[in-house]
């Protein structure tokens, strides 16, 4: 029960890594706000937690829209009185080679994966500062550390997330708020379903552990950074990639 009675807001909590994180947090005693633009998916996860005697609430959230973020944070605060953990997990991909990428593709990924992280942290930070405690955990990526073919927009966003993480750790640390990031490698979720099999095989061959990550692998890293076990860790980017970038 490492998160007993802590209130956690998880963006993109309706599927993939977000769903695994919501379930893991609930098992460890957290009250979970499952926030997603897909309310059907968010409700299914919240119901699954409730059936297992946990506490959860599904909340609509479009992270790219400030008014939606503010409404979601207000709902969590009114429902549970506080927010102890923010997991900025929501993300999208719109891949294309740089010279073929459209402005719409670029803007969509930046809006969700970079601006959305900023909007959510900005809305939650005042509550955590007032409490004198909190943990903000951002989803970066190993491609934000070394780049990736066909992902100019995604890499730009994830590199930006890493920079924001380090900046916020400096700004919020004196108020007792920790800010860290996870840099997953390739994880078997819906997001990579369109990746050609030969590319997946190549990634597995280059990964020392010889497999893709599982959503639970990332959820467990989120769990550690959300818990008091990491109380002296801030401004850190934790790679969870099977050794891919060695």
Kindly list the distances between the CA atom of residue 111 and the CA atoms of 100, 104, 155, 222, in Å, as whole numbers in the listed order.
Answer: 19, 10, 13, 23
- Per-residue model confidence (pLDDT) at position 165: 98
Does residue 191 lie in a domain region?
A: no
pLDDT over 80 at 245, yes or no: no
- Per-residue model confidence (pLDDT) at position 148: 86
Domain harbouring 88, CATH code: 3.40.50.720
Does residue 209 lie in a domain region?
A: no
Range of the domain at 81: 7-185+214-238
Does residue 1 lie in a domain region?
A: no
The separation between CA 163 and the C-alpha centre of its own chain, rounded to angstroms, equals: 15
- Per-residue model confidence (pLDDT) at position 37: 98
Tens digits of per-residue pLDDT, 195-235?
Answer: 778 878 887 888 888 888 899 999 999 999 999 999 999 99
Does residue 205 lie in a domain region?
A: no
Q: Is the pTM of this model over 0.85?
A: yes
pLDDT over 80 at 120, yes or no: yes
Does residue 54 lie in a domain region?
A: yes
pLDDT over 80 at 190, yes or no: no
CA angle 246, 92, 220 (to 5 degrees): 55
Does residue 199 lie in a domain region?
A: no
Q: Which residue has the higher pLDDT, 206 or 18?
A: 18
Rounded to an integer, the average pLDDT of 122-126 is 98
| Mean pLDDT for the chain overall | 95
Q: How confident is the model at residue 194 (pLDDT cuts 50, 70, 90)?
A: low
- State how many domains the chain has: 1
Beta partners for 217?
Answer: none
- Per-residue model confidence (pLDDT) at position 52: 97
Does residue 61 lie in a domain region?
A: yes
Residues carrying an active site annotation: 154
pLDDT over 70 at 146, yes or no: yes
Residues contacting 245, CB < 8 A, separation 6+: 142, 145, 146, 185, 239
Kindly list the distances between the CA atom of residue 15 and the CA atoms of 43, 82, 84, 176, 188, in Å, as whole numbers in the listed order.
Answer: 11, 24, 22, 31, 12
Rounded to an integer, the average pLDDT of 150-175 is 97
């Amino acid at each position: 029960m490492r998160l007993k009675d802590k209130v956690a807001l998880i963006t993109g909590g309706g599927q993939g890594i977000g769903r695994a994180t919501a379930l893991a947090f609930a098992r460890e005693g957290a009250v979970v706000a499952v926030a997603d633009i897909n309310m059907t998916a968010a409700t299914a996860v919240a119901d699954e937690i409730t059936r297992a005697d946990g506490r959860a609430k599904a909340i609509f959230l479009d992270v790219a829209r400030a008014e939606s973020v503010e409404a979601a944070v207000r709902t969590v605060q009114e429902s549970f009185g506080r927010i102890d953990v923010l997991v900025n997990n929501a993300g999208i991909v719109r891949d294309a080679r740089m010279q073929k990428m459209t402005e719409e593709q670029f803007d969509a990924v930046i809006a969700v994966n970079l601006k959305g992280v900023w909007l959510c942290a900005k809305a939650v930070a005042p509550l955590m500062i007032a409490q004198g405690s909190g943990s903000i955990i951002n989803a970066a990526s190993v491609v934000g550390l070394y780049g990736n073919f066909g992902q100019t927009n995604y890499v730009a966003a994830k590199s930006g997330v890493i920079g924001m993480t380090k900046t916020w750790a400096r700004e919020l640390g004196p108020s007792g708020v920790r800010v860290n990031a996870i840099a997953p490698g390739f994880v078997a979720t819906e997001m990579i379903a369109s990746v050609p099999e030969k590319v997946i095989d190549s990634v597995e061959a280059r990964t020392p552990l010889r497999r893709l990550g599982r959503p639970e692998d990332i959820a467990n890293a989120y769990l550690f950074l959300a818990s008091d076990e990491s109380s002296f860790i801030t401004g850190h980017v934790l790679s969870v990639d099977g050794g891919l970038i060695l």
